[in-house]
Amino acid sequence: MDHAALTPAVSAPTTDRTFAFLVHPRAAVAPDMGRVWRPLGHVPEGTWQWAMRHVPIPPLRLATVYRPGLPPSHDTGHADLSHADSSHAGSSHVDPGDVDPSRAHPEQAANRPLEVGPDPTHTLAGHVLVVPVGAKQLLAEPRRWVRGKIEEAIDQAERLGASIVGLGALTAPVTGAGRLLRPRPGVSFTTGNAYTALLTHEALHRLLPAARGGHVAVIGATGSVGSCVVRLLADEPVGGDLTLIAREPRRLETLAGEVRELNPALGVRTATDLAAARDADIVVVLTSATDALLRSEHLAPGAVVLDDTQPRNTDLALATERPDVLVVDGGVANVSGLEIHGDIGLPRGLAYACLCETMLMAFDEIPGDATGPADVAHARRLRTAARRFAHLGFHLADPALSFGRPVPWPGGVAPWPDGAAPSPTRSDAFSRATTTRLQPGTPTLPDRARARLGEAVA
Ligand SMILES: NC(=O)c1ccc[n+]([C@@H]2O[C@H](COP(=O)([O-])OP(=O)(O)OC[C@H]3O[C@@H](n4cnc5c(N)ncnc54)[C@H](OP(=O)(O)O)[C@@H]3O)[C@@H](O)[C@H]2O)c1
């Protein structure tokens, strides 16, 4: 059991916002449940599929996030960290109904005691909770039942004192990007999609040197993340041509019209067939399907793919079938200044962009909901917040990941977009290992990445 969040810590009150971030198991449920508590990973897949539908499994806690010291608004010294009790350090993380009743309502959050992490200089920032419904069930079961399960997780988030709830992976698309959720006084929601779009746009700039040209195809262009990426590309283009791909033609045409108006110099076209991606040099995948959509036959020789999807919508076989194609996992940020206790499925020091947006809204006290289609103005607001919290990370994972393995960005060192280079963050095993790989003379992408992919599948 994870007792860290119950640790009696210091007595001083705080008004900082605690967040909760919702995730769910992907198509294969057992391995993801095994991240919550290892024995759960041994339950047969069929049993999980049945149990999730027929047994009232409560939301589970996957991870707890701690941040160093107090947020800037609490630097007045009224918290006495010397009383911190770190006796629960090292405990594990399964925690079905593990809720402190004294924190039963969000209004009480303002007066609850500060909680410290296993490292007593870190205080509680938030929780990652698992909605116990697999990706396939999320999309296939009746929406009412699915939303009921998500609301149960939000109930638990409230009991844990969260005042902002992030909707991770498919919990956003199945709730109409949060718009179909029950409003709750004192709790705001975010899809995390605006910061995801912002990082995606930045990643496209960084991938350009590895591409043959500047033709970008966005698959899932009309979605919440996709439409924000497209609007950012209209404003700050990566190349001269843009192909927008989704299934519903009317929404595509409306978006294309908006882009033409914003930037008449861009060559914009639309398509409802993934085959249109074959003309592109860089393909961004922003669909919300349960498994692979993008396959080898959809890609031109030497194409670069940026795949933000969770669960992954690009075919794993690309790693073996297409050594000429570079696939980069998008929507992953460095947060090496934070302490994350629990296995969120990424190397230490990294987090998904949607989790980062939830944290940034909590840390920077950004008010209101960020639901519905991701908004460019909100994305830019988050860029400012990310700069303010750059000491904790909140920039593109560097090196990038390809099928979960580190690969350097083309050109090596990051050109931080607005001159605000992040300050160095706490090093860990992952960043030390990757720094070594990026010494001068290291081959740049795509050669290096392809070599690494070759190693990965060998
Ligand atoms: N890495 C991160 O931190 C992060 C953060 C946020 C989101 N994400 C991921 O990003 C993806 C998009 O999220 P979202 O909230 O923007 O989803 P969304 O609003 O549901 O949008 C999905 C888009 O994909 C299109 N689409 C869906 N199925 C398709 C198919 N079979 N063929 C072609 N197009 C298809 C949809 O349009 P049509 O219905 O017209 O086809 C729409 O344009 C999800 O996988 C999500 O998990 C990742």
**pLDDT at residue 114, as a whole number:** 59
Statement: residue 428 has pLDDT above 90: no
Concatenated DSSP letters of 306-354:
EE--SS--B-TTHHHH-TT-EEEE-SEEE-TTSEEES--SS-TTEEEHH
Average pLDDT, integer, range 286-303 = 92
Q: Exposed (0-12), middle (13-18) or buried (19+): which is 389, by Cβ within 10 Å?
A: buried
Task: Please tell me the distance between residue 223's alpha carbon and the centre of ligand 1 in angstroms.
Answer: 5
Convert the pLDDT of each residue in 393-419 to its tens digit. Answer: 999 999 999 999 999 998 655 544 443
In the numeric block, which tokens belong to residue 273?
Answer: 């067939």
pLDDT band at 272 (very low <50, low <70, confident <90, very high): very high
Domain contains 166: yes
Alpha carbon of 420 to ligand 1 centroid (Å): 31
Shortest-distance Cα residue to atom 5 of ligand 1 = 354
Model confidence pTM above 0.85: no
The CATH number given to whatever domain includes residue 251 is 3.40.50.720
- Give long-range contacts, CB 8 A cutoff, 24+ apart: 148-151: 150/22, 150/174, 150/175, 150/181, 151/181, 151/182
How many folded domains does the chain comprise? 2
Please give the backbone phi and psi of residue 321, each rounded to the nearest 5 degrees, phi first.
-75, -30
Domain of residue 259 covers 200-329
Average pLDDT, the chain: 80
Residue 417 lies in a domain: no
> Looking at the structure, do residues 131 and 219 belong to the same domain, yes or no?
no
User: So what's the pLDDT on residue 445?
Assistant: 35
Helix ranges, 164-223 (H): 193-207
pLDDT for res 412: 59
Q: Are 42 and 30 in contact (CB under 8 A)?
A: yes
The pLDDT of residue 14 is above 60: no
**For residue 303, what are the CA distances in angstroms to 215, 240, 266, 278, 318?**
10, 16, 20, 8, 11
| Pocket-forming residues, ligand 1, beta carbon under 6 Å | 169-170, 172-173, 177, 192-193, 196, 219-226, 246-248, 251, 286-289, 293, 308-310, 331, 352-354
Distance 290 CA to ligand 1 centre (A): 10
Domain boundary among 279, 304, 329: 329
Are 184 and 240 within one domain? no
Residues 40 and 141 grouped into a single domain: yes
User: Is 135 in the same domain as 240?
Assistant: no
Q: Where is mean pLDDT largest: 12-21, 33-42, 111-120?
A: 33-42
Same domain membership, residue 173 and residue 226: no
Q: Are residues 177 and 225 in the same domain?
A: no
208 and 169 within one domain: no
